[in-house]
Structure 1
């Protein structure tokens, strides 16, 4: 479970101080699903970075399963990201010179399994996203939707507790957007993930049981029917 208390993140922009987050209080239950929406520059990605242990707040607590991500050592944060949190981004972030299988295997390297286990787990993850026949293809040989499926497999191959997605359908057309969201929702249910997604797409936001709207660094929670 995530428990955020008084989370504030300040940046300096010239002589001006900007509060990207301004005293955010938020609870996300294990297995919960939350969509974050808001205007550009409103703090959406900053909040996701806090949840993903990619940045620390200026003030407040970001507690994941009893561990305050705001105060633990950098080494511990790195371990939490490697073991417990999967990331999916708008731009896929695949290594162009590696095959789909090799890209997925990169997520396992920090965890130390032997090469044979890495290959087997990567193959299983790619099968789970419908790419069992594309394992040997390079990113440039695949469509945008297929590349995003590889990125999802890479996020899930380490069997994380949390899946964080930042505009995962932003580079896809409408039909592929719906395919990817159906996949993500199915994997969320199948694996019991805690799933948090940033999107500007209101149609996708309405599919989630909870919506966090963030404006000027402040969060309002809406329960979708």
Structure 2
């Protein structure tokens, strides 16, 4: 479970101080599916970076399973990210010279998984997202939707507790967007993940059981009965 307590993040931009997050309090239970919406510059991606231990708050606590991420040394933070948190981004972030299977394997290297097991687990992860016939393809030989499926497989191959997605359908057409959301929702159900997603897409937000709206660094959470 995540507990954010009084989380503030300030940036200096020239002579201006930007309050990206302004005293955010938020609880995200295990197995939750939370969608975050809000205007550009409102703090959505900053909040996701805090949840993913990619950045530290200026003040406040980001607690995951009883551990304050903000207080951990960098080496331990890296371990938390490697073991417990999967990331999916709008831009896929695949290595163009590696095959789909090799891209997925990269998530297991920091965990010390042996090569044979890496290959087996990567292949299984790709099969789980419908790419069992594309293991040897390079990213340039795959469609945008297929590349995002590879990115999802890479995020989940290490069996994380948390999946964080930053605009994962932002570069996709409407039909492919729906396919990717179906994959993400199925995997969320199958693996019991805590799933937090940032999106500008109102069609996705309407289907979320919990919706967090963030504006000027302040957050409001709406529970949707029956969603």
Matches for 1:74-223 after TM superposition, within 5 Å: 74-223=74-223
Aligned residues of 1:108 and 1:158 also touching (Cα < 8 A) = yes
SS at structure 1 position matched to 2:127:
helix
- Cα offset, 1:200, TM superposition: 0.2
CA distance in 2, matches of 1:2, 1:190: 21
Deviations 1:72-129 (A, max 9, x none): 1101100000000000000000000000000000000000011000000000000000
Aligned residues of 1:62 and 1:69 also touching (Cα < 8 A) = yes
Aligned residues of 1:98 and 1:138 also touching (Cα < 8 A) = yes
SS at structure 1 position matched to 2:71:
coil
- Cα offset, 1:206, TM superposition: 1.1
SS at structure 2 position matched to 1:70:
helix
Aligned residues of 1:2 and 1:28 also touching (Cα < 8 A) = yes
- Cα offset, 1:16, TM superposition: 1.0
CA distance in 2, matches of 1:142, 1:17: 42
1:71 aligns with 2:79: no
Give the TM-score, by structure 1 length: 0.99
CA distance in 1, matches of 2:157, 2:9: 31
Aligned residues of 1:206 and 1:224 also touching (Cα < 8 A) = no
CA distance in 1, matches of 2:217, 2:43: 5
Aligned residues of 1:49 and 1:55 also touching (Cα < 8 A) = yes
Deviations 1:139-197 (A, max 9, x none): 00000000000000000000000000000000000000000001000000000000000
Size of the aligned set, in residue pairs, is 225
- Cα offset, 1:224, TM superposition: 2.0
SS at structure 1 position matched to 2:160:
coil
CA distance in 2, matches of 1:220, 1:140: 40
Structure 1: which 5+ residue stretches go unaligned? none
SS at structure 2 position matched to 1:54:
coil
Aligned residues of 1:99 and 1:136 also touching (Cα < 8 A) = yes
Quote the residue 1:32 is aligned against: 32
Give the TM-score, by structure 2 length: 0.99
Quote the residue 2:20 is aligned against: 20
CA-atom RMSD in angstroms: 0.4
Structure 2: which 5+ residue stretches go unaligned? none
- Segments of 4+ in structure 1 off by > 4 A? none
